[in-house]
């Protein structure tokens, strides 16, 4: 008998530990019972504005306690939550709403103006509702889900790809469940655990903290955004035991720590969002910060490979081993498994890995080989099976933990008059790890770097906009005319 159902997570949690804290934010603490009550209320109000089982509803909000309420409200209705990155441009968001067949954009009031512009750009009629304004709606008495089917779709989160078109990663309840459970088997589970979320909840790294909260019965210390003072204070004084960060955040936190130490009870600094520089890891080790390096992506519902602190020095730079129910292998271009110490593409498999991209059979065909996901990332295993990631997905630029795909930026630039050819690569940056920069071959019309950057700002999220434009006579290409981005990276040394 295959397991498919369990009680609705929030009902179960509110039944087991009703008075424990679910969310602690600037507004105050929210218990699991309150979270359940608010979520159910919101579900009935959403039902009143027409949300039905199976509907796709986009949540467009920065971090707040409303976020989990909205998420669970949709879940109680059997609707699917499409999580929108608030940093994207209206055009980018409209693309995702169209692609995910969203019927309602559920938005925080601060996003309301942007939302109107998004709606204007969308292909079809999309209802717009402000989360805060829902309070005036009546509650429609509809049956709420009492059980969760692990095979049901819960969230869709978009990720770009080498092809440039963002793809909707589908997460079932099961994907999130197994991610949370696998992490607990790795990190342990303590009744005093409190997890800090400064990552955006619309990213899978932030989202996974909400999932852990309800499954473990653990409070989330929720911040609007990463603020070094607030995070430092939370770890030093607010009994936070675990935090999810990207390298840039860790760097700033260590500056702030400035030679002192976190309390002994702080037990996990989960470091994701791309490979960390070795000097940073060495400094963190010296500061006795319990860093767990991880490797993961939207498609794996957050971490799938993790290095425990006891290996932080002997396996410095490694992302560790696949979590208990997960597997990884390295294959060469022919698809054969590579021996130890030989680089190749990283393939992963496990119950936290997405079943596929939403309505994108082409991408699914490319990415999946039976149950294995081809990540496009390059790495190798050492003799003891520890993973070393050499390169994130071909040409991927990671800027402050956000993914920037050169192909996506290039396709926006090629729409411009005056640009004949373009190549986008990442440039090392002290603050952000990497920033995108563009190499441009002009066409006959005149174009300036300011014009190019303005154009990008109209169409792209800020973090994707090239920080510099280099005009060149030609781009390096191979025999089949494929752009050689690695050669562009070499050229950066001259600028």
Q: Which residues make up the interface to a second copy (CB under 8 A)?
A: 1-7, 12-13, 15-16, 150-151, 172, 174, 178, 181, 184-185, 188-191, 215-217, 321, 324-327, 350-351, 355, 371, 385
- For the chain, first and last CA: distance in Å? 62
**Residue 1 beta carbon to a second copy: minimum distance, rounded to whole angstroms:** 4
**Residue 211 beta carbon to a second copy: minimum distance, rounded to whole angstroms:** 13
Residue closer to a second copy (CB basis): 38 or 178: 178
**Residue 216 beta carbon to a second copy: minimum distance, rounded to whole angstroms:** 7
Residue closer to a second copy (CB basis): 2 or 481: 2
**Which of 311, 333, 286, 281 shows the shortest CA–CA distance to 387?**
311
E-strand stretches of 338-386: 344-349, 368-369, 372-381
Residue closer to a second copy (CB basis): 180 or 245: 180
Q: Is 401 left (phi over 0), alpha (psi -120 to 50) or beta?
A: left
Residue closer to a second copy (CB basis): 5 or 454: 5
**Residue 466 beta carbon to a second copy: minimum distance, rounded to whole angstroms:** 38
**Residue 291 beta carbon to a second copy: minimum distance, rounded to whole angstroms:** 17
**Residue 8 beta carbon to a second copy: minimum distance, rounded to whole angstroms:** 11
- b/e for 12-44, b at 16 or more Cβ within 10 A? bbbeebeebbbbbbeeeebbbbbbbebbbbbbb
CA–CA distance, 223 with 221 (Å, rounded to integer): 7
Helix 204-216 to helix 9-16 angle (10° resolution) is 40
Residue closer to a second copy (CB basis): 106 or 216: 216
Residue closer to a second copy (CB basis): 111 or 346: 346
**Residue 18 beta carbon to a second copy: minimum distance, rounded to whole angstroms:** 9
**Residue 378 beta carbon to a second copy: minimum distance, rounded to whole angstroms:** 22
Residue closer to a second copy (CB basis): 164 or 355: 355
Residue closer to a second copy (CB basis): 162 or 338: 338
**Which of 487, 464, 466, 465 shows the shortest CA–CA distance to 475?**
487
Q: Parallel, antiparallel, or unpaired for β 153-159 and 167-172? A: antiparallel
Query: Which residues does residue 347 pair with via DSSP β-bridges, in sequence order?
Result: 329, 374
* Long-range contacts of the stretch 147-152 (C-beta < 8 A, 24+): 147/5, 147/6, 147/7, 147/8, 148/5, 148/6, 148/7, 148/8, 148/9, 148/75, 148/173, 149/4, 149/5, 149/173, 150/3, 150/4, 150/5, 150/6, 150/174, 150/177, 151/4, 152/78
CA–CA distance, 395 with 410 (Å, rounded to integer): 12
C-alpha dihedral (9, 159, 133, 49), degrees to nearest 10: -70
CA–CA distance, 335 with 312 (Å, rounded to integer): 31
CA–CA distance, 85 with 154 (Å, rounded to integer): 17
Helix H or strand E segment including 103:
none
Strand arrangement, sheet containing 80-83:
127-130, 104-107, 56-60, 80-83, 153-159, 167-172
Residue closer to a second copy (CB basis): 17 or 411: 17
Residue closer to a second copy (CB basis): 188 or 263: 188
CA–CA distance, 298 with 72 (Å, rounded to integer): 20
**Residue 175 beta carbon to a second copy: minimum distance, rounded to whole angstroms:** 9
Residue closer to a second copy (CB basis): 12 or 464: 12
**Residue 181 beta carbon to a second copy: minimum distance, rounded to whole angstroms:** 5
**Residue 202 beta carbon to a second copy: minimum distance, rounded to whole angstroms:** 24
């Amino acid at each position: 008998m295959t397991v498919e159902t369990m009680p609705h997570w929030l009902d179960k949690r509110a039944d087991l530990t009703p008075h424990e804290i679910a969310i602690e934010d600037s507004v105050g603490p929210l218990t699991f019972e309150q979270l359940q009550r608010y979520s159910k209320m919101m579900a009935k109000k959403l039902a009143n504005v027409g949300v039905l089982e199976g509907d796709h509803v986009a949540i467009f909000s920065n971090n707040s306690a409303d976020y989990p309420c909205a998420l669970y409200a949709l879940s109680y209705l059997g609707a699917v939550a499409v999580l929108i990155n608030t940093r994207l441009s209206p055009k980018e968001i409209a693309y995702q709403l169209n692609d995910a067949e969203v019927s309602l954009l559920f938005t925080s009031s601060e996003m309301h103006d942007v939302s109107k512009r998004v709606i204007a750009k969308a292909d079809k009629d999309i209802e717009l509702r402000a989360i805060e304004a829902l309070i005036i709606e009546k509650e429609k008495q509809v049956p709420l889900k009492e059980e969760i089917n692990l095979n049901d779709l819960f969230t869709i989160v978009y990720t770009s790809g080498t092809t440039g078109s963002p793809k909707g990663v589908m997460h079932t309840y099961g994907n999130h469940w197994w991610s949370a459970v696998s992490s607990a088997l790795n990190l342990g589970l303590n009744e005093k655990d409190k997890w800090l979320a400064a990552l955006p909840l619309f990213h899978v790294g932030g989202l996974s903290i909400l999932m852990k909260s309800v499954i473990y019965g653990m409070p989330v210390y929720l911040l609007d955004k990463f603020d070094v003072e607030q995070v430092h204070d939370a770890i030093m004084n607010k009994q936070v035991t675990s935090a999810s960060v990207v390298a840039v955040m860790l760097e700033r936190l260590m500056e702030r720590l400035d030679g002192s130490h976190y309390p002994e009870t702080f037990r996990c600094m989960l470091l994701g969002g791309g490979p960390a520089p070795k000097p940073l890891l060495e400094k963190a080790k010296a500061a006795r910060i319990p860093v767990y390096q991880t490797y993961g992506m939207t498609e794996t519902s957050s971490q799938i490979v993790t290095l425990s602190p006891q290996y932080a020095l002997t396996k410095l730079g490694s992302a560790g081993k696949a979590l208990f129910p997960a597997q990884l292998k390295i294959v060469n271009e022919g698809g054969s498994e590579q021996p130890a110490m030989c680089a190749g593409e990283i393939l992963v498999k496990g119950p936290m890995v997405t079943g596929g991209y939403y309505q994108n059979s082409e991408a699914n065909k490319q990415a999946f080989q039976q149950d294995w996901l081809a990540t496009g990332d390059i790495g190798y295993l050492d003799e003891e099976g520890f993973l070393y990631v050499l390169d994130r997905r071909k040409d991927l630029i990671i800027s402050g933990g956000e993914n920037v795909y050169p192909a996506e930026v290039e396709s926006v630039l090629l729409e411009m008059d005056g640009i004949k050819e373009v190549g986008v690569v990442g440039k090392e940056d002290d603050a952000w790890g990497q920033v995108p920069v563009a190499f441009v071959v002009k066409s006959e019309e005149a174009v300036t770097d300011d014009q190019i950057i303005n154009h990008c700002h109209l169409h792209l999220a800020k973090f994707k906009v090239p920080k510099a434009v280099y005009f060149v006579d030609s781009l390096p290409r191979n025999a089949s005319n494929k752009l050689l981005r690695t050669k562009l990276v070499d050229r950066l040394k001259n600028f």
